[in-house]
Copies of this chain bind each other. A is one copy, B any other.
Amino acid sequence: MSKERLYLYDTTLRDGQQTQGVQFSTAEKQQIAEALDDLGIDYIEGGWPGANPTDSAFFEVAPKTRARLAAFGMTKRAGRSAANDDVLAAVMNAGTDTVCLVGKSHDYHVTAALGITLEENLENIGASVAHIVAEGREALFDAEHFFDGYKDNAEYALAACRAALDAGARWVVLCDTNGGTMPAEVYRIVTEVIAAGIPGERLGIHTHNDTENAVACSLAAVDAGVRQVQGTLNGLGERCGNANLTTLIPSLLLKEPYASQFETGVSFEALTGLTQQSRMLDDILNRVPMKQAPYVGASAFAHKAGLHASAILKDPSTYEHIQPELVGNARIIPMSNQAGQSNLRKRLTDAGLNVEKGDPALARILDRIKAREDEGYSYDTAQASFELLAREELGQLPTFFEVKRYKVTVERRKNKYNKMVSLSEAVVVIKVDGEKRLSVSESMDETGSDRGPVNALAKALAKDLGRYSEVIDDMRLVDFKVRITQGGTEAVTRVVIDSADNQGRRWSTVGVSPNIIDASFEALLDAIRWKLIRDCAPEA
């Protein structure tokens, strides 16, 4: 039986940006668009050109994607032609193949919020869509408040959809804008809409999570016949968020009846990158990934109950609804029981450290990790620091050099032009091969801008490591994340540093301290040590 095509429309860059506290830069938007394209999303909504500078800038430098890039806007205002509406013109000027316009389909909103007649609104929808189509673009109409509108005045809500379809819209998207519609209602209303003559092949669904039903409402709409699903990565979005594509995609690919019925643009191979993409987005937002997130969360396949854990060892399907590998996630059986050690050995093997089953060092490493996690460390992502800790317990960590002391100064004062400027300076004293070496660096970059105390410290530390200097020459700091966390009873700073080298390696290290400079220094030291282990002949 041939499968039906179901289309995925991502609005992380537009509705996702409505999340409180989220403001993407243009570079971040590019990075996310590329990730969405790799995943196999059909449509990527990039933003509302003209509504804010970042969105306009994004379309100017938008990556070439296999996915169709969509610009978002609203239907033209009353009293002018579509061609003469400057807000619509800014959207068209983004030059995308696809244009999605939101417009009213709830009669109350037409009169109360827009203050125009019901007829004028239908004319605005039709003329706007016709304008897009006349310009040779693909048109979508987001029917705002469709479900509330349908309940109040079904006739009018349908008329708004028909106005868009008759003008040539490829898709009409039924939006539950306030997120208040229950899944059973969505199913009933979509069924009625299709019965009223609007084909499901031209219908999309756009839901919000205000009753924690955004995913279920999307599935209910698909059950009823819509063939486009809108959502965002990690469920970002206005208020409680949009339908979570990070959940919907694996459900559509792996769960019945969807797996047998539909084909999407997402391959099973791309699906194995899902967990990583979800974490990447959290990294960009500097959010702590939600452990309990379905499919991709660190706890999604963690089996804490004793009964569950022992059954899992016999047959994972006893307490797992899918195999974690399918979405790039992994099973976790808490370290406290027997399985903890086999998990640890697996992780050590990944780091190139082979430890025999039953080696007492395994228990010592587990204890040490637990104690450090209590202090605020996290080894989930800082694989390189984890390896160094294990090497220390295994007696496989060479002492390349010793740090005797360091001193960092940050000064802010007026320069000769009477402008406040900052400058940081770092002095690092190390001992390498029995010889003491002092290095000093300041935080100025090539353009004369201050890059801060951690930058000065990193430069001073790398400046003179004796015979190791040339080994770390191709190493660079590529990311720096700071989080305030709880260590014992006090708040402490956790710094995670990502480093890379010219051999294509990328590694993460962690440092924790109440003092952010100390925490950064610890992570920097680990980063250098890890690199030296890789590239120096073993001596210890």
Contacts and interface: CB of A to CB of B under 8 A. Distances in A.
Interface of A: 17-21, 23, 25, 27-28, 51-54, 74, 109, 112-113, 177-180, 182-184, 209-213, 215-217, 219-220, 223, 235, 238-241, 244, 247, 251, 255-257, 286, 288, 290-295, 297-308, 311, 314-315, 318-322, 332, 334, 336-338, 370, 373-374, 378, 380-381, 404-414, 422, 424, 443, 449-455, 479-487, 489-491, 493, 513-518, 521
A304 B17 CA distance: 9
A537 B197 CA distance: 68
Nearest to A108: B318
A239 B480 contact: no
Given A180-B255, A240-B292, A337 B23 contact: yes
Contact of A514 (B211, B297, B308, B450): B450
B302 A20 contact: yes
A215 B220 contact: no
B294 A240 contact: yes
Contact of A182 (B219, B297, B318): B219
13 contacts: A18-B305, A20-B298, A112-B315, A211-B251, A211-B255, A215-B216, A241-B292, A404-B414, A422-B518, A424-B515, A452-B513, A481-B484, A516-B516
A517 B410 contact: yes
A322 B410 contact: no
Contacts of A408: 409-411
Given A184-B223, A240-B299, A410-B518, 9 more contacts: A28-B486, A109-B318, A178-B321, A182-B257, A405-B414, A408-B410, A409-B410, A424-B515, A482-B482
A302 B239 contact: yes
Nearest to A488: B25
Nearest to A377: B23
Contacts of A489: 27
* 10 nearest CB pairs, A to B: A180-B321, A216-B216, A452-B515, A25-B486, A405-B413, A482-B482, A20-B299, A212-B247, A178-B321, A212-B215
A380 B17 CA distance: 12
Task: Indicate how many identical chains form the complex.
Answer: 2
B112 A318 contact: yes
Given A305-B238, A453-B517, A292 B19 contact: yes
Contacts of A19: 292, 299, 304
Contacts of A241: 292
A410 B515 contact: yes
B452 A518 contact: yes
A437 to B, nearest CB: 16
A374 B411 contact: no
A51 B338 contact: yes
